Structure 1
Amino acid sequence: MIKKHKNNFILISLFLCILVFIFLPINLCPPLLRYASIFSISDSSLNNNNSSKSNYTEKRATLSYDKIIGRDGLYHYRVLFWVPKEVTKFIPYADTGVITDVSFHGPIEKWSVEETNITNSNEKLVFIFVPKTFVYLYGKGFEKVIHLKYM
């Protein structure tokens, strides 16, 4: 009887160790960012690799990305941008040569861009949902290769 319980204990311990090794990197990769800091603006020039008829400057929040816990209980990553309030069409893109089609999420052009209710004078905050697999495969600085064109 004791041997049976010992085998169950070993199996449960092994299962818990596997879970820890799977979820530990997810929780430790990017630091948990504070919500309050996304309200200030920093400018960066748009990548010239994509043609655009309009002249605009990409504006990111000071903390250009954050990590939130979704309804599924898992972390989700968002790259944050300020855009004019009247903008309705968003086209996410990445630097040339960056592979964004990972884990059946499709290329970056198919990633979700969402608007928030947060505004700053005549601008609104929007974000691109970034697949976790892309974040982990690209690593540190993943947010710097993701951009947003708007019209």
Structure 2
Amino acid sequence: MGWFLGLGIAGLVVLALSLVFDGVLEGVGGGLDGLLSLPVIAGFVSALGFTGALATGAAGAGAVLATLAGIAAGTLAGWATWSFSRALLRDGAPAPRGEDLTGTSGAVVTAIPAGGYGEVLLHLAGQPVKYAAKAAAPVARGAEVWVESVLSPTSVTVRPVER
């Protein structure tokens, strides 16, 4: 039973290490596509160890039967970890682009002179981002503006919001 508990604890240690070193073994697997990731290995080893300890301690099973039960539970835990991580990585949401700013509102950070550039604070994918902004008429600092078009990856054309 001591060996099995040791394996279970070692699996938890590997899981803690996977928070820092995940991805190290990804290249080793070649076409295994994440089957050798640290979280999958940690799930397998922990389930093997703790199931084996339960089988020997609670059920009174021998070492061979406890090992087989542990391997079955470890395989199930490893597969569940792999499937869950694949589902999380398969989000499918496209990355935000600058063109997504058209039609959004923001606030002027640095006043925009007529025909010149100032700065506006906009939110792209929920993150505040400062852009150079151009407007047809002067816009004072602190004014709310709408993005009319995206000129470049770092600049936009805006117009003041009329209320």
Whether these two folds match at TM > 0.5 is no
- The structure whose residues are more often strand, as a share, is 1
- Greater RCO (Cα-Cα under 8 Å, separation 6 or more): 1
Higher Cα radius of gyration: 2
TM-score by length of 1: 0.30
Q: Please give the TM-score of this superposition, normalised by the length of structure 2.
A: 0.29
Q: Which has the higher helix share?
A: 2
